[in-house]
Amino acid sequence: MSDAYLELVNSGITKTLATKLGLPRPAHLRRTDPSAVDTPLVPGRTLVIGEGPDTDAIARVLLGWDLDVHRNAPEGKVGAVVVVLTDLTSPEQASQRVRALGSVLRSLAPGGRVVTVSRAAGPEDEPAVAAVRHGVDGLLRSVAKELRAGATGNGVVLGETVSPDAPSAVGALRFLLSARSAFVDGQFVRVSTPDGAAPADWTRPLEGRVAVVTGAARGIGAEIARVLHRDGAQVLGVDVPAAGESLATVMNEVGGIALQLDITADDAAERIIERARARYGRIDVVVHNAGITRDKLLANMKPEQWDAVVAVNIEAQLRMNDVFLAADGLAPDGLRLVSLASTSGIAGNRGQTNYGFSKAAVIGMTRSLAGRVAGAGTANAVAPGFIETEMTARIPTLTRQVARRLNSLQQGGQPVDVAEAIAFLASPQAGGINGEVLRVCGQNMVGQ
Ligand code: NAI
């Protein structure tokens, strides 16, 4: 689904006109081409703002990726700014680093990145420590709203026992700097434990892994299959028999196996395990992507419209996860569960009580599962905002145009943007991220 307005305001006379009239000018986002792996990590120089051992450790990591790292603002454009705030113990200490960030923002390249690295505020913290740590939340979200030209602002938040060069801290930093996080804006990735491992090859972190993707025949699910395959995974795609032909096409494209199956069937997980064991001997990643909508105002909603959405979007996942987690030797290196939530499950949406309930239920389930799998695997969710798919193409034109512009990047995301976030959470370098809900919404104005 293309966005004609975005094309218009970025070309020829209509670009000039839009600028003169002060109309929203969504930019072409810096994305990774799913078929290529050599997109530069950062579009230009990287400035690291901060002092002390944590800042030194982060600068060393960035140098290890061959980035052009500067500790003082360089002349000319800057591709990324990393602001290290982990050592701050009171709000007044933030001033100098924030001013250093402010002075370089005008030099941020199109598609540039601002990433803060800070510590999580906890109830045990002294009030001043908690204040500055939580202050980063409002700072970063506000900075993200001031950025233009497809640049984004996000943060990595470290748990008390996590060093800034722990695998998942590094993995999150790399994801947020890269083109893979194009539509992630104004968000924090929380790294709660030092678990995880840097991949041998950052371009193929899922090499040797087996991933199940439900609803893989089209839309976001098909793109998840493509991105996981690009990252090295073997893919088992699941979809309903009615979508069998498109599922076969996608699975042929990624060299995976297609399983025609309704996930609401009582034995759905057993059948998936049987196929995966027979072909690959294991399952490392399960992406619960299949989902449906049956929109109606609650006053007009028929019981079957409520029940169908709840059955597919949450009940099937609950049943399947119990079976996956009980299966002996299924995931020798720990199971990675990633579910599709939605911003409708965070902020609610008129006409979507059933969908909002089911997607908020996914968030509740994810947080509970995180405790259950801790130490052996992870459970996380991705909450997309407005994504250009067949589902959103059905929204009436005017409503669609408005919905697209209601985020800091002033456009809808692409299925690949959601897929990139899922591939990151499924990767070995995300082993310390557990029970999180990562929004891929361009900093949508709804919700947090
Ligand atoms: P879509 O409708 O294009 O694709 C969903 C796929 O799931 C289809 O191939 C469908 O056949 C399959 N499916 C449905 N019921 C199934 C069942 N019982 N068993 C097996 N497969 C089944 O949807 P889209 O847009 O790609 O969304 C994918 C996921 O992302 C869903 O969970 C959706 O709720 C979520 N999402 C989408 C957003 C968007 O803007 N498109 C926003 C937020 C969340």
Whether residue 214 has its Cβ less than 6 Å from ligand 1: yes
Whether residue 289 has its Cβ less than 6 Å from ligand 1: yes
Give the Cβ contact number of residue 353 at 10 Å.
20
Query: How far, CA to CA in Å, does 247 sit from each of 225, 226, 241, 279?
Result: 10, 12, 9, 18
Flag whether pLDDT at 36 surpasses 70: no
- Biggest distance spanned by C-alpha atoms of the chain: 64
pLDDT category of residue 1 using cuts at 50, 70 and 90: low
Pick the closest to residue 58 from 162, 190, 199 (CA basis): 162
CA of 270 to the centre of ligand 1 (A): 22
Protein residue closest via CA to atom 39 of ligand 1: 387
pLDDT, tens digit (0-9, with 9 covering 90-100), for 114-164: 999 999 999 999 999 999 999 999 999 999 999 999 999 999 999 999 999
pLDDT, tens digit (0-9, with 9 covering 90-100), for 353-387: 999 999 999 999 999 999 999 989 999 999 999 99
Radius of gyration from C-alpha coordinates of the chain:
22
Q: Residue 448: what pLDDT?
A: 46
Whether residue 150 has its Cβ less than 6 Å from ligand 1: no
CA of 305 to the centre of ligand 1 (A): 16
Flag whether pLDDT at 447 surpasses 60: no
Whether residue 362 has its Cβ less than 6 Å from ligand 1: no
Flag whether pLDDT at 429 surpasses 50: yes
Pocket test for ligand 1, best of 220, 267, 439 (most atoms within 8 A of CB): 220
Q: Residue 265: what pLDDT?
A: 98
Whether residue 292 has its Cβ less than 6 Å from ligand 1: yes
Question: pTM of this prediction?
Answer: 0.96
Flag whether pLDDT at 173 surpasses 70: yes
For the chain, percent of residues with pLDDT exceeding 70: 96
Report the mean per-residue pLDDT for the chain.
94
CA distance 3 to 293: 23
For the chain, percent of residues with pLDDT exceeding 90: 85
Q: Residue 35: what pLDDT?
A: 61
CA of 11 to the centre of ligand 1 (A): 33
pLDDT, tens digit (0-9, with 9 covering 90-100), for 47-96: 999 999 999 999 999 999 999 999 999 999 999 999 999 999 999 999 99
CA of 242 to the centre of ligand 1 (A): 14
Whether residue 390 has its Cβ less than 6 Å from ligand 1: yes
pLDDT, tens digit (0-9, with 9 covering 90-100), for 219-268: 999 999 999 999 999 999 999 999 999 999 999 999 999 999 999 999 99
Pocket test for ligand 1, best of 292, 346, 390 (most atoms within 8 A of CB): 292
Catalytic residues: 355
Q: Residue 100: what pLDDT?
A: 98
CA distance 81 to 299: 49
